[in-house]
């Protein structure tokens, strides 16, 4: 099924997508009894899918595969979904949740495109592993060096400027 790249996602659609993700995560934890990775792109605004975003998502999935292999972490299963609300990757991983999160932070921190990756790791009780649990500070804003949650709360940057920067980062990441 081809996604409508022009579709403007509504708040109810985003809430429904979040509920679906939580259900998928719970199902994977219940079936495999291991931590779960949930990867998406952090894209502000009403447009969550498109060629650039799909390319970045593919790169993110490949990066997760590579880093899990590097750290000898075995996947029980992986699943991908694509909706107008965005691209989602899930993996149940037979490893310690904090070790998985540390590995995922390597991806988020190694290059600029990692700044748009949102890689959550959930323990078997469903709680998320926080970067702060192992001494990593909060993520930095895409536009400046402040903590991302501060800029988000204060709406420091416009949605259009952030989306423009995201497209620039993706293009630069795949140039050459």
Pairing of strands 36-41, 117-122: antiparallel
Least Cα distance to 20 among 5, 38, 45, 3 occurs for: 38
The per-residue pLDDT string of the chain (176 residues; one tens digit each, 9 = 90 and over) reads 578 888 999 999 999 999 999 999 999 999 999 999 999 999 999 999 999 999 999 999 999 999 999 999 999 999 999 999 999 999 999 999 999 999 999 999 999 999 999 999 999 999 999 999 988 988 999 999 899 999 999 999 999 999 999 999 999 999 86
Q: Extract the tokens encoding 99.
A: 């070790």
pLDDT score of 108: 93
The predicted structure's pLDDT at residue 4: 86
Ordered by start, the domain boundaries in the chain are 11-173
Residue range 11-173, CATH number: 3.30.70.260
């Amino acid at each position: 099924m081809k996604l409508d790249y022009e579709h403007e996602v509504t708040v109810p659609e985003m809430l429904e997508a979040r509920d679906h993700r939580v259900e998928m995560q719970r199902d994977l934890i219940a079936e495999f009894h291991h931590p779960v990775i949930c990867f998406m792109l952090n894209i502000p605004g009403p447009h969550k899918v498109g060629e650039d975003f799909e390319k970045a998502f593919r790169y993110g999935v490949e990066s997760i595969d590579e880093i899990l292999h590097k750290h000898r972490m075995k996947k029980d299963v992986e699943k991908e979904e694509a909706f107008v609300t965005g691209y989602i990757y899930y993996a149940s991983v037979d490893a310690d949740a904090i070790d998985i999160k540390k590995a995922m932070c390597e991806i988020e921190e190694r290059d600029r495109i990692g700044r748009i990756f949102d890689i959550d790791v959930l323990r078997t009780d469903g709680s998320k592993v926080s970067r702060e649990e192992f001494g990593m500070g909060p993520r930095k804003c895409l536009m400046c060096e402040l903590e991302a949650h501060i800029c988000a709360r204060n709406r420091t940057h416009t949605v259009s400027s952030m989306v423009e920067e995201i497209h620039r980062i993706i293009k630069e990441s795949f140039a050459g």
